[in-house]
Chain A
């Protein structure tokens, strides 16, 4: 292993056997010992990559491409058929939250059991107990049996244990979707802290946004091979292009399928002033124009566009949608842009961003993109709070 590397994966291949009639009893093996027919399918066909110490790597790809299998091999749940995997240091994996939780035991007892599954000694667990409970925000309920918890509380407890296990290498599979938005942000911030402390992170996620925010490097796995490797931004562009072309191809094949609902992809967003000049810093009272470029694969109809304004610390400031303003959204296909103008931007000093959310008429999310555009507000005055409210003092 090269010095400075935390993970080295060399030409790893793995295949799974798909049995026609899988039997794993002694009886069947004896009676039908010739009839155990199976087909092998190679899930990974030779992938190699390296992760440096302290780096964060994101794995992306469509379902079944082998990204979760890769993670399972890194954590030694699965072993490759050929190739070599080397890891240096203590590995902790957050593939499954709440492993070994016992419903009848209290939250506190379960912390001990669950943390022991991560390889912590009793002393280590005791040292962390307060942190874990504080992070989960379950102080009042910690001595109640876990079966009385809501699923959100359950996940919060599980995540708190997992995130408080100190490791040199942390492997994470799609788990940042825990609890409410505030707790998700908390988990995310904790993850950033962990990264800053020098822990190597490998994360599998469908959310390009999460990967872009946390990772230094991104690998796109496609059909068991590495298709693209580079910075998250580079890989994202290529990945989205590919997904788009694949969808068009699919649409083309299914022309007779009347039920096919179009899909929509976010391309870009820009912030400008009224004359169309790009602008990242605003003053109170300025005009702000947000332009969204979208691409619809197939005919896209029956939708609402929602734009949410969030302060950088996660405080939700303002949300508006085409349905609240009773704007009619016309069906369209291909490229299209939407523009929303805020004629008097009265936010106080700080950093803000827009989230984009597109919902179909059934209320199902068709597209969600976090942080499509970011901007900053500057002002010399020293009011406090979030927005400027027009006011005047009346002197007696």
Chain B
């Protein structure tokens, strides 16, 4: 409780870090903020070419099927690999001044999340252009699933950023993990394609339920299955709590490692 109050006191620091991050990311590039939309669109082109022309998946409007899962995935995988350096990049601050260290993973995750929300403008545009239509009732579940994904990603950033202080070469390793993780999550294929005996294992991956929920809402236009949602909530919250505790323990040694 005391921690939460302190974090609230430092909210302005979180916001100013988020602002700085968003500003600096696109400031020096010619296209500026357009990259925020271009990046997912270009990735979409690549995957669409590969999976609907070369390796045909026989899924109606495959680009949409893929896109509604890809945007949330990019958010998560950036958190996983990029979030590793959330604390390390601010080591001068950590070494010299006190503030609740959670501010760093939190602001990193928020700025990635804002990025995803902006990308969702493109997602909605693509959904409307495709003519699939939007189910308003299903759409009400979108904020919920976003919140779950945010908590899960935050938990992962807590873990990755704290461990990276102790193991500096964790980041490249996590990039590989992110790549492998993507193919173990039903993003370019439907979950039905997974062999029966592995399905249970697949559901241990929080991103499986989260991806399925996004796809239910935006592609199939239906309310996500309660079991899927529950699975996502439980796993997401567990990872979040584990991450928070781990971070709280490891942060005590941060200043000694720099």
Contacts and interface: CB of A to CB of B under 8 A. Distances in A.
Of A25, A72, A116, chain B has the most CB atoms within 10 Å of the CB of: A116
Given A25-B167, A121-B9, A95 B96 contact: yes
A116 B16 contact: yes
A93 B6 CA distance: 16
Given A76-B98, A95-B96, A121 B12 contact: yes
A122 B256 contact: no
B25 interface: no
29 contacts: A17-B256, A24-B166, A24-B168, A24-B257, A25-B167, A25-B168, A25-B169, A26-B170, A75-B98, A77-B95, A77-B98, A77-B255, A78-B255, A78-B256, A79-B252, A93-B98, A96-B97, A112-B16, A113-B20, A116-B12, A116-B13, A117-B97, A117-B99, A119-B6, A119-B9, A119-B12, A119-B13, A120-B12, A121-B11
Contacts of A91: 98
A75 B20 CA distance: 26
Contacts of B97: 75, 77, 93, 95-96, 99-100, 117
A27 interface: yes
Given A27-B169, A77-B94, A77-B98, 15 more contacts: A17-B256, A26-B167, A72-B255, A75-B97, A77-B96, A78-B256, A93-B98, A99-B92, A112-B12, A117-B13, A117-B97, A117-B99, A119-B6, A119-B99, A121-B12
A122 B11 CA distance: 9
Interface residues of B, number: 28
Contacts of B167: 24-26, 29
Contacts of A93: 97-98
B254 to A, nearest CB: 8
Interface string A28-54: 010000000000000000000000000
A100 B93 contact: yes
Contacts of B11: 121
Contacts, number: 71
A120 B170 CA distance: 34
Interface residues of A, number: 31
A102 interface: yes
Nearest to A91: B98
Contacts of A72: 255
Interface in B207-243: none
B253 interface: yes
B173 interface: yes
B181 interface: no
A95 B97 CA distance: 7
Nearest to A94: B97
Interface of B: 6, 9-13, 15-16, 20, 92-99, 166-170, 173, 252-253, 255-257
Contact of A117 (B15, B93, B166): B93
| Residue in A72, A79, A99, A119 with the greatest tally of chain B CB atoms within 10 Å | A119
A332 B48 CA distance: 89
B159 to A, nearest CB: 14
Contact of B169 (A26, A116, A120, A125): A26
A26 B168 CA distance: 7
A77 B252 CA distance: 8
A388 to B, nearest CB: 52
Contacts of A342: none
Interface string A90-108: 0101011001101000000
Contacts of B12: 112, 115-116, 119-122, 125
A24 B12 CA distance: 33
A89 to B, nearest CB: 12
Nearest to A77: B255
A113 B170 CA distance: 30
A16 interface: yes
A115 B16 CA distance: 10
Given A96-B97, A117-B99, A26 B173 contact: yes
A107 to B, nearest CB: 15
A72 B97 CA distance: 9
User: 7 closest pairs, A vs B, by CB?
Assistant: A96-B96, A116-B12, A79-B252, A116-B13, A25-B169, A26-B167, A75-B98
Contacts of B13: 116-117, 119
A122 B255 CA distance: 28
Contacts of B9: 119, 121
A122 B9 CA distance: 10
B252 A113 contact: no
B5 to A, nearest CB: 11
Interface in A1-40: 16-17, 24-27, 29
Most A-side CB within 10 Å, residue of B11, B99, B256: B99
Nearest to B9: A119
A115 B97 CA distance: 12
A22 to B, nearest CB: 9
Contact of B20 (A77, A78, A102): A102
A17 B166 CA distance: 14
Contacts of A99: 92-93, 96-97
A91 B98 CA distance: 9
Nearest to B167: A26
Nearest to B165: A24
Contacts of A26: 167, 169-170, 173
Contacts of A29: 167
Contacts of B6: 119
